[in-house]
């Protein structure tokens, strides 16, 4: 992990500083960086919003959110940290910069030790996607784009047309090298272990293709509902919130060809090339659902047809993955919560054993007996199931699992947002998405976005609509 103390003095502007995203993810991540001594030697965090808050009011707000979401203020350098917090009230727009321009100027005078131009700026847009374009334009209009990096939350656009519009606006103000589009699934330590397992281990790398893999499954069911952010969720839905952002990017990590190096440009190019090979989803490839009772939640319209569940079967048109289904599923209020990437391996097609459900005189191979599974939650884990002969039997087989917990490997993995914000501060773009890959995502999403698939009801605590089961035939879902 690179020491952020070697980076220039930094003003970190957090738009939407009093919002839910800042409270749950950005502010806790920033405080964790302070705990780990990974912030620049000189920095200030300026919250920006419409609310009338003094610096002390904002400090009290941040402290209350850390008490709620952690890390606890008393578990870190709170007194020193809090003195670097500022707030700029009265909003920020092209026509009216509020207090932000003056607040940034004061911070740069303090941090630059007489040379404000030595201070880098980071603008973090923790605001609704509809505010991305006007905020970016305002940064350009008031000169705050100079010496700065800009960070966008997902989704970067809500359709191909809106993506093109936003991309044009952003590139009118910023060079691509200064743009950071966050996808926290790419920041997960376990997601990065996918590369190590494949490219550093011949045992797995040689089997990473259609000849050995029957299906790839990216499964992120959640038991949570949406009550704490119902208004945002109803405008977004599972397709935009998860499928075309996180799940597609993880699919690209699995599907990509070996990059020329682990450098940020080479990895990003390999990931973008994989997305370009995604075959557009058709109606038969997609199932959308909404859990019963969703419309009874406050801030959800009585006639809402927003999906809280989506499952998709996608194909990657490369020689490596031809005809292998990439199965993706996510939803709210489901039976269990997981974040798993599973490669179901093919059964041997010859030899003395035979696959489950087929005829033959040899011992039967259990269905889905040979599976490679990455758990992306928490610190992450790698699990492998194998078919072994039952001791003392007449060649009977059973499946046994072995697991490696990534925290057992040593080191101190950082949570995704902590890792990604640290990378932004030091200028490492390897875990961030590129516009060419994102544009292809909208083409690939096809029937998941165009409204041609109906929204089916499913019971809370289930695995979603029954019709989603057919997408995984004949292998079946590994979960559920």
Judge residue 224's burial from the number of C-beta atoms within 10 Å of its C-beta, 0-12 exposed, 13-18 middle, 19 or more buried: exposed
Active site residue 338: no
184 marked as binding residue: yes
188 marked as binding residue: yes
Judge residue 448's burial from the number of C-beta atoms within 10 Å of its C-beta, 0-12 exposed, 13-18 middle, 19 or more buried: buried
Q: Encoding tokens for residue 84?
A: 């670097």
From the candidates 61, 123, 246, 422, give the one annotated as an active-site residue: 246
- Chain centroid offset of residue 290 CA: 22
72 marked as binding residue: no
Torsion, Cα 356 357 362 363, to 10 degrees, reads 40
73: DSSP letter: G
Whether residue 443 contacts residue 160, with contact meaning beta carbons closer than 8 Å, is answered with yes
Distance CA 131, CA 184 (A): 20
Distance CA 287, CA 451 (A): 11
Give every CB contact of residue 328 below 8 A, 6+ residues apart in sequence.
217, 218, 219, 243, 247, 248, 251, 310, 311, 312, 314
222 marked as binding residue: yes
Distance CA 368, CA 251 (A): 20
Distance CA 345, CA 348 (A): 9
260 marked as binding residue: no
276 marked as binding residue: no
61 marked as binding residue: no
Distance CA 332, CA 460 (A): 8
Q: Encoding tokens for residue 217?
A: 């499954």
Residues designated catalytic: 246
Q: Which residues are annotated as a binding site for substrate?
A: 184, 188, 222, 241, 332
Q: Which residues are annotated as a binding site for NADP(+)?
A: 50, 154
Q: Which residues are annotated as a binding site?
A: 50, 154, 184, 188, 222, 241, 332
């Amino acid at each position: 992990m690179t020491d952020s103390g070697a980076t220039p003095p930094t003003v970190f502007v957090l738009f939407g500083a009093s919002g839910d995203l800042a409270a749950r993810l950005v502010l806790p991540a920033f405080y964790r960086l302070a705990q780990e001594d990974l912030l620049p030697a000189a920095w200030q965090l300026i919250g920006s919003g419409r609310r009338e808050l003094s610096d002390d009011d904002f400090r009290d707000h941040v402290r209350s959110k850390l008490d709620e979401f952690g890390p606890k203020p008393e578990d870190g350098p709170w007194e020193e940290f809090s003195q670097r917090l500022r707030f700029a009230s009265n909003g920020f727009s092209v026509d009216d910069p509020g207090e932000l321009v003056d607040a940034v100027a004061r911070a740069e005078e303090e941090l630059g030790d007489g040379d404000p131009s030595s201070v880098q700026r980071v603008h973090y847009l923790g605001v609704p996607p509809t505010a991305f374009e006007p905020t970016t334009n305002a940064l350009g209009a008031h000169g705050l784009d100079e010496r700065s990096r800009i960070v966008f939350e997902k989704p970067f656009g809500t359709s191909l047309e809106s993506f093109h519009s936003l991309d044009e606006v952003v590139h009118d103000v910023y060079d691509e090298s200064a743009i950071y589009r966050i996808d926290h699934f790419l920041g997960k330590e376990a997601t990065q272990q996918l590369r190590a397992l494949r490219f550093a281990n011949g045992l797995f790398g040689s089997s990473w293709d259609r000849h050995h893999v029957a299906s790839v499954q990216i499964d992120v069911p959640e038991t949570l509902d949406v009550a704490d952010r119902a208004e945002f969720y109803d405008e977004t839905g599972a397709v935009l919130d998860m499928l075309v952002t996180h799940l597609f990017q993880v699919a690209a990590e699995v599907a990509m060809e070996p990059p020329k190096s682990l450098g940020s440009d080479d990895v990003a190019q390999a990931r973008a090339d994989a997305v370009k090979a995604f075959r557009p989803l058709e109606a038969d490839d997609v199932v959308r659902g909404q859990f019963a009772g969703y419309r009874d939640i406050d801030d959800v319209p009585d006639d809402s047809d927003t999906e809280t569940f989506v499952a998709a079967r996608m194909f990657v048109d490369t020689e490596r993955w031809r005809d292998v289904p990439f199965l993706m599923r996510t939803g709210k209020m489901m039976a269990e919560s997981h974040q798993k990437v599973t490669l179901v391996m093919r059964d041997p097609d010859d030899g003395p054993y035979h696959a489950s459900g087929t005829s033959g005189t040899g011992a039967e191979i259990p269905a889905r007996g040979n599976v490679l599974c990455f758990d992306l939650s928490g610190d992450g884990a790698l699990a492998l199931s194998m078919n072994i002969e039952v001791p003392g039997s007449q060649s009977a087989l059973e499946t046994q699992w072995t697991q490696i917990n990534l925290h057992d490997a040593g080191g101190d993995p950082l949570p995704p947002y902590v890792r990604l914000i640290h990378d932004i501060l030091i200028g490492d773009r390897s875990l961030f998405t590129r516009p060419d890959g994102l544009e292809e995502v909208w083409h690939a999403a096809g029937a998941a976005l165009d409204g041609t698939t109906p929204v089916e009801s499913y019971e809370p605590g289930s695995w979603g609509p029954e019709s989603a089961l057919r997408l995984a035939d004949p292998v079946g879902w590994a979960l559920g």
